[in-house]
């Protein structure tokens, strides 16, 4: 599975970014290849409106299966994410990427609406 | 580091006074972010100084160069916002009406139109007399109040909290239910809803809690002026229970609210005997539930 | 005569004043009250009746025609509001973000984004004697107040042009929503309270109406709380003080019950008399 985390940094120890649309980094973990890559999303701060959909578009390009974030995505982003075969998990805010991944594997995260 | 956002839906409920009281109480533990960029009021109580000021840019306005304009009138025909008018033989943009869509820029055959970045306000980082930092902003009048400035205020507050090693950010949110409120809520760990005991207060509380529920953020409510209408206060309590919003407490109508603001200070500084125990309890409950 | 009731700050008494003024005015003249606080409309709490009609309001939004589209993606780059998203072989339109500028629709080389009418919100209209009341509510999920506010004002021009007095309960603040509401009016009444918050926000509202070249005067609500700085400000700026409404707990209690205050509190009735007298002098 390809798992996306909204993150404040680039590695396993970075803290999850509780926001979706304006998240600082998009971290992708490919379970099959055991590869962790990070995309710098900070240019999104220049966007006045539509940050959520823009970030959702990036997630789509990355062909993610799972999205792990802090709070749920906002209305605009959610309407885009609904078009993808993506499972969303929330309440990972405050955890590191690694801790969030473990929580996900242990079914300790909440599904996003 | 945890983010606490205080919102109210309706104006005039006492949100900023309550925010200032918590800021005073917990000043050693937090950074304050004033996200009400349209009418930022916290500075009247926190008295910021040593401010670092930055210009804030958002969106664009079209500008026509009369030297290049051939007066073909294509932009005037196509503009959906009546933002272009004939002027001295050529055409010019009416700034107030221009939405920055770029249509005229895309179609001008003479390349006479440019899109200019708009300075829509100021962004400030200040010290306060409480010792905690305040991040705030002022949006110019008529400006498009998007989530961008609010997001920037919060993002800077987070950066400062990291550097200063403060465990909390306290954000005074925007009124209403539009983009600035959504941006206020985006990274929140905990939301405090301030409402008042009136039918308008209950109605606006429901609309704003709908937003909070969408983000699945835990929330708690303070009912201010609770003795004005005991029946509505009761309805509010029932609503909070039904919506799984924690009830932090009821505050009876108190002159201290305006007395404190008139003196430019927080409720606790105005009347410590009365307000210190109340806010100490609220802050304790908030920390336990985050 | 079209008059807006506005304030920089929320909670200073716009709806309270707009509702009471409209009902009193309607005792003697045909009056229209428009609640334009489309995010959080409250006028309907005070003005109630059984025969409301609801008018749906729409606006033009592009819709994607997959049959004509060649996926060139130019539309994505043109849109300044990020209202178009490309997901693989699909183009999605985001109604909350669209400003209806028509650029993508008219510039698309394949004409694959024809404009279609989409729901924006609704205008609920009620008539009580000489008073017509409209309440405009934005559809859930939409973010921009201005299009609905503008359409409501057009609706008023079409249906209520003959009313002797039109009053607008403006959205709070001084950003784009408030400006959309007030820019077509003949006169603005700003309402604030005599506190530092009230003064600071009144100043913002004053700057706004001055920039829009609109004549205005000020009503002070909750006179008695706070201090006199706001009165000194009005004097210094040469701004007319139209009326003062005293701070009385009874007023807050009546308001909280959704009651019509001027019928029960003489001080409020007197203030309304002063305001209506000024309005008559404007015509």
Report the percent of chain B where pLDDT is more than 90: 71
Do residue A54 and residue C92 have CB atoms under 8 angstroms apart?
A: no
Look at the domain A2-111 and name its fold: Nucleotidyltransferase; domain 5 (3.30.420)
Residue B38 in this model has a pLDDT that exceeds 80? no
Q: What is the per-residue pLDDT for C67? A: 96
Across C17-42, average pLDDT:
93
| 3-state class (DSSP) for residue C242 | strand
Residue B259 near residue B268, CB atoms below 8 Å? no
How far is it, in rounded angstroms, from Cα B76 to Cα B87? 11
Superfamily of domain C2-57+121-282: P-loop containing nucleotide triphosphate hydrolases (3.40.50.300)
Q: What is the per-residue pLDDT for C49? A: 81
Q: What is the per-residue pLDDT for B151? A: 87
Cα separation of the two ends of chain A:
21
Residue B145 in this model has a pLDDT that exceeds 80? no
B2 vs A: CB within 8 A:
yes
A19 vs B: CB within 8 A:
yes
Domains and CATH numbers, chain B: 2-47+128-289 (3.40.50.300), 58-118 (3.30.70.20)
Highest mean pLDDT among A45-49, C97-101, C173-177: C97-101
Residue B89 in this model has a pLDDT that exceeds 80? yes
Nearest CA in chain B to A73: B215
| 3-state class (DSSP) for residue B5 | strand
Q: What is the per-residue pLDDT for C84? A: 95
Note the ipTM here.
Answer: 0.85
Residue that has been written with the tokens 């349209």 in this structure: B38
| 3-state class (DSSP) for residue C89 | coil
Q: What is the per-residue pLDDT for C283? A: 79
State the nearest Cα–Cα gap between A37 and chain B, in angstroms.
Answer: 23
Q: What is the per-residue pLDDT for C63? A: 97
Q: What is the per-residue pLDDT for A103? A: 94
Nearest CA in chain A to B167: A94
Across B89-115, average pLDDT:
95
**Which chain C residues are Cβ-neighbours of B98 within 8 angstroms?**
none
How far is it, in rounded angstroms, from Cα B29 to Cα B65? 53
Q: What is the per-residue pLDDT for B148? A: 85
Across C50-59, average pLDDT:
90
Residue B49: C-alpha distances to residues B46, B129, B134, C36, C135 (Å): 9, 8, 9, 38, 43
State the nearest Cα–Cα gap between C163 and chain B, in angstroms.
Answer: 27
How far is it, in rounded angstroms, from Cα C12 to Cα C171? 12
Across C90-99, average pLDDT:
92
Residue B26: C-alpha distances to residues B1, B31, B192 (Å): 14, 10, 15
Pairing type for strands B168-172 and B90-93 reads unpaired
Residue B33 in this model has a pLDDT that exceeds 90? yes
Task: Name the band, by pLDDT with cuts 50, 70 and 90, for residue B120.
Answer: confident
> Which stretch of A39-43, B9-13, B224-228 has the lowest confidence by average pLDDT?
B9-13
**Which chain B residues are Cβ-neighbours of A90 within 8 angstroms?**
216
Interface test with B, best of A9, A19, A44, A92 (most B CBs within 10 A): A19
A84 vs C: CB within 8 A:
yes
Q: What is the per-residue pLDDT for B261? A: 87
B99 vs C: CB within 8 A:
yes
Residue C225 in this model has a pLDDT that exceeds 90? no
pLDDT along chain A (113 residues), means of 10: 95 93 94 95 87 92 94 86 92 93 93 81
A72 vs B: CB within 8 A:
yes
Do residue A51 and residue B147 have CB atoms under 8 angstroms apart?
A: yes
State the nearest Cα–Cα gap between C274 and chain B, in angstroms.
Answer: 25
Contacting partners of chain A (3+ CB pairs under 8 A) = B, C
Q: What is the per-residue pLDDT for C24? A: 97
Between C8 and A57, whose confidence is greater?
A57
What are the structural domain ranges in chain A? 2-111
Q: Which two tokens stand for residue C226?
A: 């706070």
Do residue B102 and residue C80 have CB atoms under 8 angstroms apart?
A: yes
Residue C254: C-alpha distances to residues A50, B98, C224 (Å): 42, 43, 19
Q: What is the per-residue pLDDT for B200? A: 86
What are the structural domain ranges in chain C? 2-57+121-282, 64-113
Between B216 and B66, whose confidence is greater?
B66
> Which stretch of A64-73, B55-64, C45-54, C93-102 has the lowest confidence by average pLDDT?
C45-54
Q: What angle do CA B85, B89, B92 make, to 5 degrees?
A: 30
Q: What's this model's pTM, rounded to 2 decimal places?
A: 0.87
Residue B142 in this model has a pLDDT that exceeds 80? no
**Which chain B residues are Cβ-neighbours of C78 within 8 angstroms?**
102, 106
Q: Give B166-195 pLDDT, tens digit per residue.
A: 999 999 998 777 778 888 888 899 999 999
Across B90-112, average pLDDT:
94
Nearest CA in chain C to B227: C253
CATH number, domain C64-113, options 3.30.70.20, 3.30.420.10, 2.40.70.10, 1.10.3720.10: 3.30.70.20
Cα dihedral across residues C245, C249, C251, C255: positive or negative = positive
């Amino acid at each position: 599975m390809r798992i996306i985390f909204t993150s404040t940094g680039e590695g396993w120890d970075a803290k999850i970014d509780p926001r979706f649309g304006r998240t600082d980094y998009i971290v992708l973990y490919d379970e099959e290849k055991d590869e962790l890559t990070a995309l710098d999303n900070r240019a999104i701060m220049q966007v006045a409106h539509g940050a959520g959909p823009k970030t959702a578009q990036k997630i789509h390009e990355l062909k993610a299966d799972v999205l792990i974030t802090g709070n749920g995505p906002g209305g605009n982003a959610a309407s885009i994410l609904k078009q993808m075969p993506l499972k969303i998990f929330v309440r990972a805010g405050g955890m590191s990427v690694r801790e969030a991944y473990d929580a996900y594997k242990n079914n300790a995260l909440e599904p996003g609406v | 580091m945890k983010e606490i956002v205080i919102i109210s839906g309706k104006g005039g409920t006492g949100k900023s006074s309550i925010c200032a009281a918590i800021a005073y109480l917990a000043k050693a533990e937090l950074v304050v972010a004033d996200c009400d960029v349209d009418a930022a009021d916290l500075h009247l109580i926190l008295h910021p100084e040593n401010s670092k000021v930055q210009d804030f840019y958002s969106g664009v306005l079209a500008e026509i160069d009369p030297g290049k304009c051939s007066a073909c009138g294509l932009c005037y025909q196509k503009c959906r916002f009546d933002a272009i008018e004939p002027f001295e033989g050529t055409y010019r943009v009416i700034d107030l009406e221009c939405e920055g869509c770029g249509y005229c820029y895309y179609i001008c055959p003479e390349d006479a139109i440019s899109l200019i970045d708009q300075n829509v306000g100021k962004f400030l980082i200040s010290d306060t007399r409480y010792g905690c930092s305040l991040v705030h902003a002022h949006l110019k009048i008529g400006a498009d109040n998007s989530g961008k400035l609010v997001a920037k205020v919060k993002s800077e507050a987070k950066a400062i909290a990291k550097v200063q090693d403060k465990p909390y950010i306290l954000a005074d949110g925007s009124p209403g239910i539009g983009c600035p409120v959504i941006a206020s809520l985006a990274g929140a760990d905990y939301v405090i809803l301030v409402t008042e005991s009136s039918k308008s207060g209950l109605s606006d509380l429901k609309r704003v809690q709908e937003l909070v529920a969408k983000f699945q953020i835990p929330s708690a409510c303070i009912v201010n002026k609770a003795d004005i209408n005991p029946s509505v206060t009761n309805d509010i309590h029932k609503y909070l229970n039904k919506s799984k919003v924690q009830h932090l407490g009821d505050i009876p109508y108190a002159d201290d609210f305006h007395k404190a603001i008139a003196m430019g200070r927080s409720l606790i500084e105005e009347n410590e005997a009365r307000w210190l125990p109340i806010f100490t309890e609220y802050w304790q409950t908030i920390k336990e539930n985050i | 005569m079209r008059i807006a009731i506005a304030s920089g700050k929320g909670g200073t008494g716009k709806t309270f004043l707009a509702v009471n003024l409209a009902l009193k005015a309607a005792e003697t003249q045909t009056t229209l009250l428009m609640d334009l606080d489309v995010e959080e409309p409250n006028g309907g709490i005070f003005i109630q009746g059984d025969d409301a009609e609801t008018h749906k309001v729409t606006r033009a939004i592009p819709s994607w025609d997959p049959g004509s589209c060649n996926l060139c993606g130019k539309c994505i780059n043109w849109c300044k509001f990020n209202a178009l998203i490309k997901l693989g072989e699909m183009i999605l339109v985001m109604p909350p973000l669209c400003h209806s500028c028509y650029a993508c629709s008219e510039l698309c080389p394949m004409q694959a984004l024809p404009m279609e009418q989409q729901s924006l919100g609704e205008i609920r209209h009620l008539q009580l004697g000489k008073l017509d009341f409209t309440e405009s509510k934005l559809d859930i999920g939409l973010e921009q107040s201005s299009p609905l506010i503008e359409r409501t004002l057009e609706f008023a021009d079409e249906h209520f042009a003959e009313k002797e007095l039109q009053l607008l309960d403006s959205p709070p603040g001084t950003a784009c929503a408030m400006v959309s509401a007030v820019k077509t009016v003949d006169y603005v009444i700003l309402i604030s309270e005599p506190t530092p918050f009230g003064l600071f926000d009144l100043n913002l509202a004053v700057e706004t109406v001055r920039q829009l070249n609109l004549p205005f005067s000020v009503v002070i609500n909750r006179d008695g709380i706070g201090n006199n700085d706001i009165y000194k400000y009005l004097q210094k700026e040469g701004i007319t003080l139209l009326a003062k409404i005293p701070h009385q707990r009874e007023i807050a209690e009546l308001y909280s019950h959704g009651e019509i205050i001027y019928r029960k509190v003489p001080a409020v009735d007197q203030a309304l008399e002063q305001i209506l007298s000024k309005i008559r002098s404007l015509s």
